[in-house]
Structure 1
Amino acid sequence: MEVLQGENEQSFGTEGFKVENVEVGDTKKPNLYLGFVKTSFDVGNLSVLTGLSFATGHSRVNHLDAEHPHAFAGKIKLYGFDLTAKYMIDSYRDISLQGEYLYRDQKGTKYEYDNAGDLETEELKKKQGGFYTQLVFKFDRRWRAGVQYNLINKNDVKKNGEKKDLPSNLPAYYAMLEYNPTEFSRIRFQVGQNRAFFHDGKRKTVNEFILQFNFAIGAHGAHPF
């Protein structure tokens, strides 16, 4: 179990706000409570790690200075499931399957201004969920290749009990090739297509090309400088 400050505005913001005659105070800290259970086991050359998690806390969103002023006060629950399975082919080669599912249950009150400039107070409920899964093949001592699939499959939003017609099929696809010249460096080329963005009510496909180079320098336990 963990007890945290929870200063993440997307789900667990802490800053209160005042809008006209409505005043909402800051959340009390600690604001985020997390519990999880993990287990692992081996079946021959196959190793499996899996677990369940749960997080809950109060939420504050203060965007009253934004182009479209709004604020939110409520409570959020997060549910998670994760799984990693790795099969060792030999000393250098392996295949790993990894995935995680997250589900968010949000309830509270939203304050926003309509087109006429009048303040509206709405009961807001969100039930949203999605997952990613990836398959990575280490086919040589220094080479890996993999594919990844992401999907937001649930996006139910209700305002004052009225369900909004929002898209729920929001996928993204990626593929990568990775080379490790040394144990302290990594070169990765990744391509992908993200179809989870919308602009003016229309889906906007984003194609991604990423060339990444990571390296580490400095003293470490095995070889002090």
Structure 2
Amino acid sequence: MNSLLPAALVAALAAPAAAQTAPATPAVNAADLQALRDEIQTLRNAYEARLQALEQRLQAAESAARAPAAVAATPSAAPATAPDTVQTASSAAPAAAANAFNPAISLILAGQYTRTSRDPEGYRIAGFGLPPDAEAGPGPRGLNLGESELRFSASIDPWLRGAAALALHPDNEFSVEEAFVETTALGRGFTLRAGRFFSNVGYLNPQHAHTWDFVDNPLPYQALLGTQLGDDGLQLRWIAPTDQLLELSAEVGRGAGFPGGDSAGNGAGLRTFSVHTGGDIGDSHSWRAGVSVLQARASGQELIGLAADDTSTFFTGRTRVWIADAVWKWAPEGNATRTHFKLQGEVLQARRSGTLALEDGSGGDYRATQSGWYVQGVYQFMPRWRVGLRTERLDAGTPHDPAGLVAGSGFKPRKHALMLEFNPSEFSRVRLQLAQDRAREGAADRQFFIQYQMSLGAHGAHAY
């Protein structure tokens, strides 16, 4: 190989000169020839040095692969280097190879100050029933820890990768948000995921809380999806091999969370299907739009907020939710570092059909069509500074309730929010948010938030 390199380089350098030879071309002097020889020698030395470095890395990787067997054979052997010993260049490669088996770890530290004009303990969304443990509303007043997130992710082998996201909530509860494995080599645009994950329906639902543009999710998500839909199950995604984005997604799950009620037994209590498409318009604009549908089953699901005086009602039946989402982004010449704008909106409609009963078993048929929407815009007007405005509205509809359990008044919950955000770097954020919340009848709840989020460790790129 080494003998062919000089010849190839000389041929490559000589070909253009030969092609451009003309009778008037002056003779090459001795200094020019020596300069060419020196340049060829420099390239040869660099190439040989690169080959030697690659051979050393290969040998180091092979040694690291054999190391576990050697350690098992001599369990009393001392480590090659002490933890605080500075390693040489030759020992750094095996250490790096061993570290390749460690997962990427990231930690999102979050906290906020909350001030409200109405007591958040009595927060309800008028006309909408939610489970007692639903995370709706502004949360506790005063200083509190936000939803901090610890995430692990790594490639398992050439065919699979795994990830887990663990959440620490303000009330000191600990939960598993996501824990799944997914394929990396199915080919033909397919990806299969198994475990616990946020559903791919809509636009906001698959996103973790620290990627939201506002402190909280909009009212339609809180009222119709219990803030965010996550479940244990299987997900199959397909991205078409086309210039324009076309993604199809189908999921089956246990259906344990709202709007489901863990009634599946051996079957699937939740099924979803989504289609999204998008693309670029010139150099400065991009967009994405889609439609999603989910169907969930519930058996004796306890709901608070439908009957008067917060009396619990129990729903048995099916819920089907349709979601239409659209996002448009603008950045001058595709460069979003200085200024950019994002406009997004979603429309949700839920149809519930089954029976509704009180704790004593009295009740009857129940059908309802409920809907909601939100629109928000976020503008980065200078580096590190963003401002956003969001408006949202709900409609509980007129339920079919012959037993008269639902205490409907025709009130339509609504909310407006304004936020200002400063990002000292891509790893830190401080956000102020003002909101006028009319989810409950009566006086508006004037809300004020100060939120911080800090990212530690390796963290993957966010979705579009």
Deviation for aligned residue 1:72 = 1.6
One-letter amino acid of the structure 1 residue matched with residue 428 of structure 2? S
Whether contact under 8 Å (1:176, 1:190) holds in the other structure is yes
Q: Does 1:87 align with 2:330?
A: yes
Quick one: distance in 2 between partners of 1:94 and 1:219? 25
The CA deviation string for residues 4-40 of structure 1, in whole angstroms up to 9 with x for no partner, is 11211x310125xxxxxxxxxx655321000010000
Against the structure 1 CA distance between its residues 123 and 41, is the aligned structure 2 distance closer, same or farther, given a 3 Å change threshold? same
Aligned to 2:121: none
Aligned to 1:11: 259
In the alignment of these two chains, the number of paired residues is 201
- Residue correspondence of structure 1 range 93-112 to structure 2 within 5 A: 93-112=339-358
Quick one: distance in 2 between partners of 1:73 and 1:27? 15
TM-score normalized by the length of structure 1? 0.80
Quick one: distance in 1 between partners of 2:418 and 2:394? 19
Quick one: distance in 1 between partners of 2:402 and 2:329? 46
Q: Does 1:2 align with 2:251?
A: yes
Quick one: distance in 2 between partners of 1:83 and 1:154? 23
CA RMSD of aligned residues (A): 2.5
Quick one: distance in 1 between partners of 2:350 and 2:411? 14
Deviation for aligned residue 1:107 = 0.5
Whether contact under 8 Å (2:364, 2:403) holds in the other structure is no
Whether contact under 8 Å (2:328, 2:343) holds in the other structure is yes
For CA contacts below 8 A with separation 6 or more, give which structure has more relative contact order: 2
Aligned to 1:147: 389
Whether contact under 8 Å (2:363, 2:403) holds in the other structure is no
Quick one: distance in 2 between partners of 1:155 and 1:204? 22
Shift >6 Å, 4+ stretches: 161-164
Whether contact under 8 Å (1:196, 1:204) holds in the other structure is no
Aligned to 2:431: 188
Whether contact under 8 Å (1:152, 1:168) holds in the other structure is no
Quick one: distance in 2 between partners of 1:63 and 1:129? 21
One-letter amino acid of the structure 1 residue matched with residue 432 of structure 2? F
Q: Does 1:134 align with 2:376?
A: yes
Matched residue of 1:180: which SS?
strand
One-letter amino acid of the structure 2 residue matched with residue 88 of structure 1? A
Against the structure 1 CA distance between its residues 131 and 220, is the aligned structure 2 distance closer, same or farther, given a 3 Å change threshold? closer
Aligned to 2:271: 33
Quick one: distance in 2 between partners of 1:38 and 1:168? 33
Gaps of 5+ in 2: 1-249, 304-309
Q: Which moved more, 1:26-35 or 1:90-99?
A: 26-35
Quick one: distance in 2 between partners of 1:220 and 1:170? 37
Greater fraction helix? 2
Aligned to 1:166: 409
Greater fraction strand? 1
- What percent of counterpart residues are identical? 28
One-letter amino acid of the structure 2 residue matched with residue 187 of structure 1? V
Matched residue of 1:197: which SS?
coil
Matched residue of 2:425: which SS?
coil
Against the structure 1 CA distance between its residues 205 and 28, is the aligned structure 2 distance closer, same or farther, given a 3 Å change threshold? farther
